[in-house]
Structure 1
Amino acid sequence: MASAKITVLVSGSGTNLQRLMDVFSQGIIPNAEINLVVADRPCLGLERAKNAGIPTVMLTRGESLSRQLLEVVPQETSLIVLAGFLSILSEEFISRFENKIINIHPSLLPKYGGKGMWGIKVHEAVIENKEKYTGASVHYVTEGIDTGEVIVQKSLKIMPGESAEQLAKRVLELEYEILPEAVAKVLNSMC
């Protein structure tokens, strides 16, 4: 059976990328490999990929980003994973890879999604609004920001007096759990 080829898009430290690299190398998700890592800025995620011998590309942010992506994403790519990727993709790019792009988000979507809701900002909003629960979601990417169908979601209880930074660390642990689960689920649905 041919391996599923996965292109990962990153903008930051690449810890979710590292989790996927570990899962694939350990055979936890069989017959899958990362064929390319693309970044929209210099970041540790690119270094992680280079150190693992995975091909990398850094693109220029802006209006032409999606056009650049169309040129560099390998034709045989089965799935595109946004793992902390902060640029917005064009409708053309999304429709070209319809139901083949997924994103991880640090909230229980549809809550705390959309423009400006990323990273610590999500956790600050959750605490400010005195939510009792939060979590992480993996969803399909559509034209709306964080509006695609949720594939996997997991929640946790917010501790009394917990800071946004403390919450962010706990939510990141959930992301490490659900991202591989979502990738496996999507790949299985393609078979």
Structure 2
Amino acid sequence: MIHFNELVLASHNAGKLKELQAMLGSTVRVRSVGEFSTVEPEESGLSFIENAILKARNAARLSGLPALADDSGLAVDFLGGAPGIYSARYADGQGDAANNAKLLEVMKAVPDAERGAQFVCCLALVRHADDPLPIICEGLWHGRILHTAQGVEGFGYDPLFWVPERECSSAELPAAEKNQISHRARAMALLKQRLGLA
């Protein structure tokens, strides 16, 4: 079992930092890798797992702390899993609004029955930069892609992601509720079990 009271999150995304801190609770202080460096590693992996490990090792090297990396994205069935690992860069790095606009355009003629999708979260935790045994936890959140954006909560593709069990978009869920059922919540629940924090 790994014991620590502080770790670095390999992300500059304030939304992810806030969500993960809320999920981990007050027993572990989560710091952003941005406190140590503004340089982002090249995400050269071909999968969520590869990129998560790469980012975790980089953050551990920069901070000297145990590091947690979250590589997440949206995998749309009709698009063969795209945008996948390129979710944040789908519209050439122009941000969430541009990513959402591009996805809506690409999917505009696709019928409801073929709009299935899932948010994917892969967490990788390393004790140090050269940790030979990273802890890997994955979470999937199944839904479908809407025809128009709904809601103002969350970030990323949340306004386009229909959550069948709640009959609303991810962006219409209160943060506390989203943090209990999302892909990130599912991966984090597994991680907390592995760390003995559950």
TM-score (norm 1): 0.51
Alpha-carbon contact 1:6-1:32 (below 8 Å) kept: yes
Q: Give the corresponding residue for 2:37.
A: 58
SS of residue matched to 1:21: helix
Displacement of 1:138 after TM fit? 0.9
Count of aligned positions: 138
Alpha-carbon contact 2:6-2:28 (below 8 Å) kept: yes
% identical equivalent positions: 9
The unaligned stretches of length 5 or more in structure 1 are 40-55, 83-102, 142-148
In the superposition, relative to structure 1, how do residues 187 and 62 fare at CA in structure 2: closer, same or farther (>3 Å)? closer
1:71 corresponds to 2:61: yes
- C-alpha distance in structure 1 between counterparts of 2:184 and 2:59, whole Å: 22
- C-alpha distance in structure 2 between counterparts of 1:5 and 1:182, whole Å: 19
| 1:107-186 equivalence runs, <5 A | 107=75, 111-113=81-83, 116-118=86-88, 119=96, 121=99, 124-125=102-103, 128-129=106-107, 130=110, 131-139=114-122, 151-159=138-146, 161-163=147-149, 166-167=159-160, 170-171=169-170, 176=179, 177-186=182-191
SS of residue matched to 2:75: coil
In the superposition, relative to structure 1, how do residues 115 and 107 fare at CA in structure 2: closer, same or farther (>3 Å)? closer
Cα RMSD for the two superposed structures:
4.1
Q: Pick one of 104, 111, 135 that aligns with 2:72.
A: 104
Cα shift readout 1:13-71 (whole Å, capped 9, x = no counterpart): x112111222333x6xxx5442x3113xxxxxxxxxxxxxxxx22333467x9796453
- C-alpha distance in structure 2 between counterparts of 1:69 and 1:6, whole Å: 10
Alpha-carbon contact 1:106-1:171 (below 8 Å) kept: no
TM-score (norm 2): 0.49
Counterpart code for 1:158: I
The unaligned stretches of length 5 or more in structure 2 are 43-53, 89-95, 125-135, 150-156, 163-168
